[in-house]
Amino acid sequence: MFSKLKHVSLETYIAIFITIMACITRLSMAIGQISYVLAILLTGILIYKQRHTYKIPTYVKKYAKAYGIMLLFLLPSVLFTGNISVSFPEFFNVWIWRIPVFAIIVLGIKNKNTLLTMLAIFLLVFGIDNLVAFIQPIIGYVPRGYGFGSSPLTIAGIMVMMTPVMLVALWDSVFPNYVKQSSFFALFSMFFGMHGNQSRGSWIFTLLLFPFASWQYIWAKKKYLILSLAVIATVIALFASQPFYVAKFYSIANTTTDGSNLGRFDVWQSSVNMFKDHPLIGVGIGQWRDYYELMYRLPRETQHLYHAHSNFFQLISEVGAIGFIGVVGFYLFLVIDSFKNWMKDKNPYDLAACGAIIGYIFLFGQFEYTLDNSSGLRIMYFILGILWQLKYISYKS
């Protein structure tokens, strides 16, 4: 056994540990962190061993420059907001510590089959995650299923993020059958997960992302179009047949009595008030809740929420206009660059990556602070690293 382990490449060990991190991080943060650290150390060893011949992919350099610019735009909200002992650790945790997931994959894994296997494994685990979310409320464990994690909104955001990835992997011929099978299982399980999770945002945004990720495939093959319409109609019919879900869907537009909506409106108003008082650099990274409880919480908001329930309201209040431009500009750059690349050569990897960022950061992020979700953001960088590295390997070959 040990002799066989000696022949396993360093790259394979890196792939194993970073995949464990992505799959287990919502179930056990401790195991996820240990696997993460091991993957970082092994990647550093691999680069050092290959230091004389190692070349960083061009696209990685381009994205690294954009990321560096974003960090510069965030620095004023770390250094000049009066409480650096709070802002710097939060800056490191949110904006630096989660990025190595991407770097590990694009710098340490060069084998196409390894990358595809990582994607397939994660999709299988994600499918099981959704089935757990479906079962949890049925057995009375929780009112709303959350799968392996602790928050219903976390898995809901990952559902939205993964929808275009699963659809592209299912439709496009470049993905092997075992990835397609994993995608089908995860997508099929997600319908059950959405039922147990009860997130209104996941229902709406997955439907919006379906045509974005699928139209070029289903238009080319009419049988796919018929199948897709049949599946969508069936899902909508199943939800529409249950009064509870119909009422929950209509509650999206309820601005008078729905507690979830009202709570968001209140913290959004408080965030706008913070921005008016601190327009350039905000109240400081990691200091939103302190300011909120001290002077900005509206008397009618009795839930004492921990964040602004929106990427954009959180950003304008916590890092001000300067930081907002840096962060939103960075993710817009990733989206636009991927979309331009997809328009140029119709490669599936950029289409899936573009949809994942739009879904997680810009769509679901309107109503949830996804940028501060450690497991969700690391999973996003895990998926982006796999997709863009697959594209790079495909072009190189």
- The model's pLDDT over 34-82, given as tens digits with 9 standing for 90+, comes to 999 999 999 999 999 998 888 888 899 999 999 999 999 999 999 998 8
- Is residue 273 assigned to a domain? no
Amino acid identity at 61:
K
The pLDDT of residue 4 is above 60: no
Looking at residue 255, its pLDDT comes to: 59
Q: Nearest to residue 26, comparing CAs of 154, 121, 144, 138?
A: 154
Amino acid identity at 106:
V
| 231 in the same domain as 118 | no
Q: Nearest to residue 318, comparing CAs of 152, 161, 94?
A: 94
- Provide the sign of the torsion angle of the four alpha carbons 74, 297, 254, 241, taken in this order: positive
Contact residues for 302 (Cβ-Cβ < 8 A; gap 6+): none
Give how many domains the chain has, as a whole number: 2
pLDDT band at 260 (very low <50, low <70, confident <90, very high): low
What Å distances lie between residue 202 and 191, 233, 352, CA to CA? Answer: 10, 17, 17
| 29 in the same domain as 135 | yes
Which of the 8 DSSP states describes residue 67?
A: H
| 188 in the same domain as 59 | yes
Q: Is 282 helix (H, G, I), strand (E, B) or coil?
A: coil
Looking at residue 219, its pLDDT comes to: 76
| 227 in the same domain as 169 | no
Q: Nearest to residue 218, comparing CAs of 207, 229, 208, 209?
A: 229
Which of 162-166, 216-220, 344-348, 391-395 shows the highest mean pLDDT? 162-166
**Secondary structure in 3-state letters for 192-247:** HHHHHHCCHHHHHHHHHHHHHHHHHHHHHCHHHHHHHHHHHHHHHHHHHCCHHHHH
pLDDT band at 289 (very low <50, low <70, confident <90, very high): very high
Looking at residue 127, its pLDDT comes to: 97
Q: Are 369 and 314 in contact (CB under 8 A)?
A: yes
Phi-psi region of 147 (alpha: psi -120 to 50; beta: other; left: phi over 0): left
Q: Are 258 and 268 in contact (CB under 8 A)?
A: no
The last residue of one of the domains, among 198, 231, 253, is: 253
Q: Which domain holds residue 239?
A: 221-253
Chain Cα centroid distance, residue 33: 18
| 34 in the same domain as 159 | yes
What is the Cα–Cα distance from 223 to 215, expressed in whole angstroms? 12
Looking at residue 3, its pLDDT comes to: 46
| 246 in the same domain as 114 | no
Q: Nearest to residue 149, comparing CAs of 17, 310, 307, 28?
A: 28
Looking at residue 1, its pLDDT comes to: 42
The pLDDT of residue 6 is above 60: no
What is the Cα–Cα distance from 387 to 376, expressed in whole angstroms? 17
Looking at residue 243, its pLDDT comes to: 73
| 225 in the same domain as 207 | no
Q: Are 251 and 258 in contact (CB under 8 A)?
A: yes
Mean pLDDT of the chain: 90
Model confidence over 111-133: pLDDT tens digits? 999 999 999 999 999 999 999 99
| 184 in the same domain as 102 | yes
What Å distances lie between residue 156 and 72, 126, 150, 151, CA to CA? Answer: 31, 12, 12, 9
Which of the 8 DSSP states describes residue 359?
A: I
What is the Cα–Cα distance from 60 to 24, expressed in whole angstroms? 26
- Is residue 291 assigned to a domain? no
Looking at residue 2, its pLDDT comes to: 41
Q: Is 176 helix (H, G, I), strand (E, B) or coil?
A: coil
Q: Is 150 helix (H, G, I), strand (E, B) or coil?
A: coil
How confident is the model over 4-33, as a mean pLDDT?
A: 88
Share above pLDDT 70 across residues of the chain, in percent, rounded to a whole number: 91
- Is residue 51 assigned to a domain? yes
| 186 in the same domain as 232 | no
How confident is the model over 270-295, as a mean pLDDT?
A: 95
The last residue of one of the domains, among 199, 232, 253, is: 253
The last residue of one of the domains, among 232, 253, 274, is: 253
What is the Cα–Cα distance from 305 to 265, expressed in whole angstroms? 12
- Is residue 258 assigned to a domain? no
Q: Nearest to residue 38, comparing CAs of 5, 7, 12?
A: 12
pLDDT band at 250 (very low <50, low <70, confident <90, very high): low
Q: Are 19 and 105 in contact (CB under 8 A)?
A: no
Task: Work out the widest C-alpha separation in the chain, in whole angstroms.
Answer: 67
| 103 in the same domain as 14 | yes
| 380 in the same domain as 240 | no
| 43 in the same domain as 19 | yes
How confident is the model over 342-371, as a mean pLDDT?
A: 96
Phi/psi of residue 193, nearest 5 degrees: -60, -40
The helix, strand and coil proportions of the chain, stated in percent and rounded to the nearest 5, come to 80, 0, 20
